[in-house]
Amino acid sequence: MKRRDFFRNTAFSGLALSGFAGANTLLAGESVSSNSAKFKLKYAPHLGTFGEHAGKDPIDNIKFISDQGFRAIFDNGLMGKEPALQEKIASELAKRDMDLGPFVLYADFKVKSFVTQDAEIKEMLKKKMQEGIDVAKRTGVKCALVVPGRFDEGLEWDYQTANVIDNLRMCCEIVEKSGLQLVLEPLNAWTNHPGLFLTKIPQAHMICEAVDHPACKIVNDIYHQQITEGNLIPNIDKAWKYIGAFHIGDNPGRNEPGTGEINYKNVFKHIYDKGYDGVLCAEHGKSIKGKEGEQALIAAYRAADSF
């Protein structure tokens, strides 16, 4: 049996066992019709996830995503969109009672930024924070993603950590009145992002403790943390009070749940049982191309959500 056929059969079998009403629609193969059953958690596809079914228009994508039972979307590139389009996206989400996941506020992987006390870097960060506030005012988004940049090979690690804490506190004080939270993203150094300062959940937890500001939170990217440290559920528990959002992606491959080694059904159940009501951004690819791949992605989330 080919891998693609195996995945489809496995995913749809899981849906049938879980009693998902839309499984027959997906089995039809050519289209996905509206499904009013909402997911238990706020899994958030990216606006470009379903281009084969919904085209390129962001509003059409939101409508399609909502019709499949998803309760949120995310857009890493939200900050780069025209203000009028940002407002239009926010309006459509409000009509459908959907949330908007974190956008990328600052994530320059080539620069030693937060680890320094460079005056120009500080001014750049202040400007970025104000731009993030403006996006939040237009869209109502609650979280903005921040990556502290590269580490400095020529500076003692603890001094770098102190600089990161100082710069983050400055940023949090800028955004606090707007209600915007900054979510720090630890990224793996082994597969995707060598040379970055922030790589682990315990490290991010320690920094949040030191910053000691309600706007300083963590986005737990489960894909990255499976590569870096594993121990997913215990680390979720230990850092729980600082987790402001999740990112999803299976490993290896960084595709939809069920295509790698992570038991997403158990992880999602654990997050749900803890009472989490935030967004889980589907920041991953598709293991199958075309419309079939988009249908398989929906099926994968139905299977993982059937706890």
Backbone φ, ψ for residue 143 (5° rounding)? -130, 145
pLDDT in tens, 288-306: 999 999 999 999 999 999 9
pLDDT in tens, 62-84: 999 999 999 999 999 999 999 99
pLDDT recorded at residue 235: 97
Look at residues 247, 243, 245 and name the one whose alpha carbon lies nearest to residue 224: 247
Backbone φ, ψ for residue 264 (5° rounding)? -65, -30
Whether the predicted pLDDT of 24 surpasses 90: no
Q: Return d(Cα 146, Cα 228) in angstroms, integer.
A: 19
Q: Is 224 exposed, middle or buried (0-12, 13-18, 19+ CB in 10 A)?
A: buried
Q: Return d(Cα 267, Cα 228) in angstroms, integer.
A: 17
Q: Return d(Cα 214, Cα 173) in angstroms, integer.
A: 10
pLDDT in tens, 153-166: 999 999 999 999 99
- In the chain, the number of structural domains is 1
Average pLDDT, the chain: 91
Rounded percentage of the chain residues whose pLDDT exceeds 70: 89
Q: Return d(Cα 209, Cα 17) in angstroms, integer.
A: 44
pLDDT in tens, 37-56: 999 999 999 999 999 999 99
CATH number at residue 268: 3.20.20.150
Whether the predicted pLDDT of 257 surpasses 80: yes
Better-scored residue on pLDDT, 7 or 223: 223
| CA angle, residues 230, 169, 117, in degrees to nearest 5 | 95
Say which residues have a Cβ less than 8 Å from residue 80's Cβ, sequence separation at least 6: none
**What does the buried/exposed string (b/e) look like for 177-210 if buried means 16 or more CB atoms within 10 Å of the residue's CB?**
ebebbbbbbbbbbeeebeebbbbbbebbbebbeb
Q: 34 pLDDT band (50/70/90 cuts)?
A: low
Q: What is the mean predicted confidence (pLDDT) over 180-202?
A: 98
Side chain identity at 71, as an amino acid letter?
Answer: R
Q: Return d(Cα 289, Cα 8) in angstroms, integer.
A: 12
Backbone φ, ψ for residue 212 (5° rounding)? 55, 55
Query: Range of 56's domain?
Result: 3-304
